[in-house]
Amino acid sequence: MAGFKAAFVNEMVKLLKKKKLIAAAILSVLGVLIGQAAVTAFQAGFGLRIAGSTEFPLLVLPVFTYTILPLFTTFVAIDMFNGEWNAGTMKLTLTRPVSRFGVFCAKVGNIAAFILVNLLFIMLVSLIAGFIFNPGSSGIVGILRVLLAYLVTFVPIFVFALLVVLLCNVIRSGLAVFFLSVLVFVGFIAIGLLYSRFSSFLFTSQLSWYTLWISDSINPFKLLRQTMLLSGCGLMLFTAGYYLFDRRDL
Amino acid sequence: MEMAKAIEIIGLNKMYSNGRGISNLNLEVDEGDIFGFLGPNGAGKTTAMKIMVGLMRPDSGEVRIFGKSVQHEFVDAMRYIGCIIETAESYPYLTAEDNLKLFARYYDDVDQARIDECLEITGLIRYKREKARRFSLGMKQRLGVAAALLSRPKLLILDEPLNGLDVEGMLDMRRLIKRLNEESGTTFFISSHLIHDVELTCTRVGIIYAGQLVNVEYTRNILANYASLENYFISEVDRSGRI
């Protein structure tokens, strides 16, 4: 994959220069702080104990995985593909000595890095917030559980990102891709709730699969099955997205 | 061993659904040529150039750059090429210098000194820390030229390189083409609608009409038989239009 490294670094430079990451980070911090404020107010008002220091990150995680994180991932993916097609800057990369597979992998790799960094950032902030506002019971095991939960959440979000990438390469308009992505996301969740028999086939129902990984009794076969389903889904989406990207005439 | 041609276009076909496109295009450009690619609007100039740099797939046929097939050995072929296709784009949120730094990563031998040199050649060195968003059309064009020159390519494919340039810019551009051709032996493949400029710059001229190459001739031979390139162009296009 000649030229992949250069393309990967370039995509990262472009991503960082556009201040999207910073916006995402600020919004994430705000989200965590508001969540924490709500929890603290609740505790004070009702005298209930809702979340301990390492429980708090796990309280925050589903909120992010169903809202801000897929939203920002969609933005970044649309910007990398439709944004560049429409601005005419895609050809700047495609006329350099780098294969289209290299360019595609560089873009997808950066989306993956974006998701991972965001997750780890949210984890850190929520851990710190948890320790500040609810100091108390927590150990290294608790922190490791939190880390595991955040790391495995990467997988379903990344599969969703690959779906968005596929849509980016099917549809020309970035706005249309955005609405379709939101529609698919919400639609899949709704289908998963209405027809729970099929829910295990939809990657959206795996957004909370971290609970399987950190539960007290781990079911290895279920984990294996879900991992297989998610990776199969991801591979198909990646291949379809790359096929369209490679065939595209400018 | 026979030296590979700078450009070999072999049996190139590309049809759009509207019936336009290029059909059975065959062309050879020698190393050291400044080749002018002329044709009326919609004749297929840009289509041919897009296929030459791999932005578009031909329905059939092949383009070889110094013996490397753009369709099958894309990365190797692109090491020889610098290009501007349609419009000279740049990343508007980056400075002129940062734009070039991005492209420099694809080549082992392009360093900061070379980046500055390219900015100097195109007269942008004073604006190197300014974001491309604030650039005028002509300055964007210059930045596009700097980006195309960056890797010291053996072949420069320029689609309407004079777009947006003022008179001084045009003169600079013409001088630059001549100089690179003479000093480094760079081959040029240039499309332009400014026929007078092609006459002054190009050593060979090919005319494309309705997707087909109608004639290729050395400029000095044309000027021996016609008063100007314009007369030749009109007579060729006229002749093809009648057939």
Q: Is B180 on the interface with A (CB under 8 A)?
A: no
Examine the pLDDT at B1 and tell me if it is beyond 60: no
Q: Which domains are assigned to chain B? A: 7-80+153-242 (3.40.50.300), 91-152 (no CATH)
Annotate A87-142 with DSSP letters as a single string: HT-HHHHHTSSS-HHHHHHHHHHHHHHHHHHHHHHHHHHHHHHHHHHS-SS--HHH
- How many angstroms separate the CA of residue A169 from the nearest CA in chain B? 15
Phi then psi dihedrals of residue B123, to 5 deg: 75, 25
Annotate A161-222 with DSSP letters as a single string: HHHHHHHHHH-S-HHHHHHHHHHHHHHHHHHHHH-TTTGGGSGGGGTTTHHHHHSSS--HHH
For A56-104, how does the pLDDT look when each residue is reduced to its tens digit (9 = 90+)?
A: 888 888 888 888 889 989 999 999 999 999 999 999 999 999 999 999 9
CA distances to A2, A32, A145, B189 from A29, in Å: 38, 5, 21, 53
Mean of the pLDDT values across residues A107-115? 96
> What's the CA gap between B177 and B171, in Å, rounded?
10
Chain A residues closer than 8 Å to B80 by CB: none
Confidence of residue B165 (pLDDT cuts 50, 70, 90): confident
Chain B residues closer than 8 Å to A101 by CB: none
List, in sequence order, every beta strand (DSSP E) within B39-174.
60-65, 68-69, 81-84, 155-159
> What's the CA gap between B135 and B91, in Å, rounded?
11
Number of domains making up chain A: 1
- How many angstroms separate the CA of residue A103 from the nearest CA in chain B? 12
Specify the residue for token string 């080749």.
Answer: B35
Chain B residues closer than 8 Å to A89 by CB: 89-91
- A114 closest CA partner among A71, A148, A172, A143: A71
Opening angle at CA B129, ends B125 and B134, nearest 5: 100
Q: Is A248 on the interface with B (CB under 8 A)?
A: no
Mean of the pLDDT values across residues A186-191? 92
Contact B152, B117 (CB under 8 A): no
Q: Is B57 on the interface with A (CB under 8 A)?
A: yes
Examine the pLDDT at B49 and tell me if it is beyond 80: yes
Q: Which of A12, A13, A14, A95 to mutate to test the interface with B (most CBs of B within 10 A)?
A: A95
- Residues counted in chain A: 250
Q: Is B43 on the interface with A (CB under 8 A)?
A: no
Find the closest chain B residue to A18 by CA distance. B93
> What's the CA gap between A65 and A78, in Å, rounded?
19
> What's the CA gap between B143 and A106, in Å, rounded?
25
- B195 closest CA partner among B145, B221, B233: B233
> What's the CA gap between A20 and B95, in Å, rounded?
18
Q: Is B137 on the interface with A (CB under 8 A)?
A: no
Helices (H) and strands (E) in chain B, counts: 9, 10
SS3 B34: strand
- Beta carbons of A88 and B89 less than 8 Å apart: yes
Chain A residues closer than 8 Å to B54 by CB: 94-95
- B132 closest CA partner among A88, A21, A4, A110: A88
Q: Predicted ipTM? A: 0.93
Chain B residues closer than 8 Å to A5 by CB: 105
Structure tokens at B41: 């609007």
Q: Is A247 on the interface with B (CB under 8 A)?
A: yes
Chain A residues closer than 8 Å to B86 by CB: 88, 91
Chain A residues closer than 8 Å to B132 by CB: none
What letter represents residue A141's amino acid?
V
Domain containing A234: what range? 4-247
Inter-chain Cβ pairs, chain A and chain B, closer than 8 A:
67
From the number of C-beta atoms within 10 Å of its C-beta (0-12, 13-18, 19+), residue A68 rates as middle
- How many angstroms separate the CA of residue B200 from the nearest CA in chain A? 28
Chain B residues closer than 8 Å to A97 by CB: 75-76, 78-79, 106-107
> What's the CA gap between A90 and A103, in Å, rounded?
10
- Beta carbons of A95 and B78 less than 8 Å apart: yes
Specify the residue for token string 């670094």.
Answer: A9
Find the closest chain A residue to B131 by CA distance. A17
Q: Please name the helix (run of DSSP H) or strand (run of DSSP E) that holds residue A24, with its range, or none.
A: helix A20-46
> What's the CA gap between B120 and B117, in Å, rounded?
5
For B58-100, how does the pLDDT look when each residue is reduced to its tens digit (9 = 90+)?
A: 999 999 999 999 999 999 999 999 999 988 999 999 999 999 9
For B85-138, how does the pLDDT look when each residue is reduced to its tens digit (9 = 90+)?
A: 988 999 999 999 999 999 999 999 999 999 999 999 999 999 999 999 999 999
Confidence of residue B4 (pLDDT cuts 50, 70, 90): confident
The closest CB to that of A95, out of B55, B76, B90, belongs to: B55
For A200-237, how does the pLDDT look when each residue is reduced to its tens digit (9 = 90+)?
A: 778 888 888 898 898 888 888 989 999 999 999 999 99
In the prediction, which pLDDT does B132 show?
A: 95
Confidence of residue A139 (pLDDT cuts 50, 70, 90): confident
Q: Which of B14, B49, B75 to mutate to test the interface with A (most CBs of A within 10 A)?
A: B75
- Beta carbons of B50 and A97 less than 8 Å apart: no
Contact B198, B229 (CB under 8 A): yes
Give A127's contacts (C-beta < 8 A, 6+ positions apart): A53, A54, A56, A57, A143, A146
